Amino acid sequence: MTAHAGRYAPSPSGDLHFGNLRTGLIAWLFARQSGRKFLLRVEDVDSQRSTIDSAHRQIDDLLTLGLTFDGDILYQSDRSAAYQRALDRLRAHGRVYECYCSRKDVQNAPRAAHHVPGSYPGTCRELDDAERERRREELAAQGRKPALRLRADVDTFTIQDRYHGEYTTEIDDFVLRRGGQDTDWAYNLAVVVDDGFQGIDQVVRGEDLLPSTPRQAYLGSLLGIPAPEYVHVPLVVNQAGQRLAKRDGAVTLREMLLEEPVHHVIGKLAESLGYPDVFTLHKLLQVFNPDDLPREPLVWR
Ligand code: GLU
C-alpha cells in the first residue's frame, strides 16, 4: 500500500500508559527522522480483550500528545479476509495443519531437551486422516474447534535488530488461528500480513516482542513479505522489574494529565530518552539520536 513506513500498533485493551507512550514516541521519532510515513494500526485481533471504546481513547491520547499519523487507521478486526487469504496460500503449499491440543496438552507434552519451554512439540503434525476426524469430532462435541498451526520447515531463524544485532530463536509450529470456542487469528499471522499490506519497512516496538520476531520474519518469508528493519526498545518497568501496568498507579496519560499539563508529560518522556529540558515533540525530533537511546529497562519513579 505505502512504501517506506513505520508504525505504532497498540492493542486496545486499556488506556495508554507511560511505557506505551514512550514506545510510540520512539517509533514516531525513528519514522519521522528517516523520512518515513507513520501509520497507526489498532491491534484488536484479540476480540476477547479489545474494545472499540479503548481504541478511540488510545487514538485521542496519541493525538493529545501531538503524534502525527499518515493515511487511514487500520483495524485488525476488519482484516479477516486478508488473514484468510494468507492462510489459504500457506495451505496451498502444505504449510497448515489442524491441532487438537489444549494449552495443558502443550505444556505437559514430552519434548526433546533442546526445546524452548512452551514451544510446540509437533504432537498433531503427523496424524492420519482418520485420527484427525476422530479428534475433530471429539472437540466439536465440546463446542470447540481445532487450532491451525504452521508446518515450519526450519529449526531456527535469524533476524537483525538495530539494538540487539543478530538474533536467533527456535522456530516451532506456531499457531496461525486459535482454536477453542472462539477462533481468533493469531497475532503472529496478523502482524506479518498487516505490516506487509501497509508497506511497513521499519518496526519499532517493545523488547518483549523480540522473542516472537524470528517467527514473524520466517512467516513473512513464506508469504513473500520482506523483513522490515527491526528496532526493539527497552520497556518501562515497575520497581519490581515487571513491565509497567495500570496497577502501578497514575501511569496512564489520562491520569498524568489530571496532575500536570501535557508539555510536562512530554518533558518526562524526553528525559527518559536522555534529553532533559525538552518539552516539545518538534524539538525532540531535532535532537533525538538513536545511538543514545538508553539500553536498560527504564524503572518507573
Ligand atoms: N499490539 C502490540 C502491543 O500493543 C504491539 C505489536 C507490534 O508492535 O508489533 O503490545
DSSP-assigned states of every residue in 221-259: HHTT----EEEEEPPEE-TTSSBP-GGGSS-BHHHHHHH
Residues 168/157, Cβ–Cβ less than 8 Å: yes
Q: What residues form DSSP beta bridges with 156?
A: 170
Report whether 120 belongs to an annotated binding site.
yes
Per-residue model confidence (pLDDT) at position 249? 80
Any ligand 1 atom below 6 A from CB of 41? no
DSSP string, 124-149: TTT--HHHHHHHHHHHHHTT-B-EEE
Amino acid identity, position 117: P
- How many separate domains does the chain show? 2
Q: How confident is the model at residue 29 (pLDDT cuts 50, 70, 90)?
A: very high
Report whether 77 belongs to an annotated binding site.
no
Q: How confident is the model at residue 147 (pLDDT cuts 50, 70, 90)?
A: very high
| 201 and 280 belong to one structural domain | yes
Amino acid identity, position 92: A
182 occurs within a structural domain: no
Classified as helix, coil or strand, 190 is helix
Residue 11 alpha carbon to ligand 1 centre in Å: 6
CATH of the domain at 205: 3.40.50.620
Q: How confident is the model at residue 180 (pLDDT cuts 50, 70, 90)?
A: confident
Q: What residues form DSSP beta bridges with 5?
A: 37, 200
* Percent of the chain scoring above 90 in pLDDT: 85
Pocket test of ligand 1: the residue of 26, 30, 184, 209 to mutate, having most ligand atoms within 8 Å of its CB, is 209
Give the structural domain span for 157.
82-177
For residue 6, pLDDT over 80 is answered with yes
| 45 and 88 belong to one structural domain | no
Ligand 1 nearest-atom number relative to CA 20: 4
Residues 64/21, Cβ–Cβ less than 8 Å: no
Residue 128 alpha carbon to ligand 1 centre in Å: 37
For residue 209, pLDDT over 80 is answered with yes
| 94 and 112 belong to one structural domain | yes
Per-residue model confidence (pLDDT) at position 56? 97
255 occurs within a structural domain: yes
CATH of the domain at 138: 3.90.800.10
| 13 and 71 belong to one structural domain | yes
Q: Look up residue 221 and give its three cell numbers.
A: 518469508
DSSP assignment, residue 115?
S
Per-residue model confidence (pLDDT) at position 114? 62
Among 120, 148, 177, the domain-final residue is 177
232 occurs within a structural domain: yes
pLDDT tens digit string along 233-275?
999 999 998 988 878 887 899 999 999 999 999 999 999 999 9
For residue 2, pLDDT over 90 is answered with no
CB atoms within 10 A of CB 265: 19
Q: What residues form DSSP beta bridges with 148?
A: 98, 177
32 or 104, which is more confident?
A: 32
Ligand 1 nearest-atom number relative to CA 10: 4
Find the Cα–Cα–Cα–Cα dihedral 181, 187, 188, 190, rounded to 10°. Answer: 100
| 242 and 273 belong to one structural domain | yes
Any ligand 1 atom below 6 A from CB of 11? yes
For residue 156, pLDDT over 60 is answered with yes
Per-residue model confidence (pLDDT) at position 183? 78
Any ligand 1 atom below 6 A from CB of 191? yes
Report whether 7 belongs to an annotated binding site.
yes
Among 149, 177, 205, the domain-final residue is 177
For residue 113, pLDDT over 90 is answered with no
| Torsion angles phi and psi, residue 96, rounded to 5 | -130, 135
Per-residue model confidence (pLDDT) at position 42? 98
93 occurs within a structural domain: yes
| 96 and 164 belong to one structural domain | yes
Per-residue model confidence (pLDDT) at position 234? 96
Ligand 1 nearest-atom number relative to CA 205: 8
Any ligand 1 atom below 6 A from CB of 26? no
Q: How confident is the model at residue 8 (pLDDT cuts 50, 70, 90)?
A: very high
65 contact partners, CB below 8 Å, separation of at least 6:
21, 24, 25, 253, 262, 265, 266, 281
Report whether 97 belongs to an annotated binding site.
no
Any ligand 1 atom below 6 A from CB of 13? no
Q: What is the mean pLDDT of the chain?
A: 94
202 or 46, which is more confident?
A: 202
Q: Look up residue 192 and give its three cell numbers.
A: 506479518
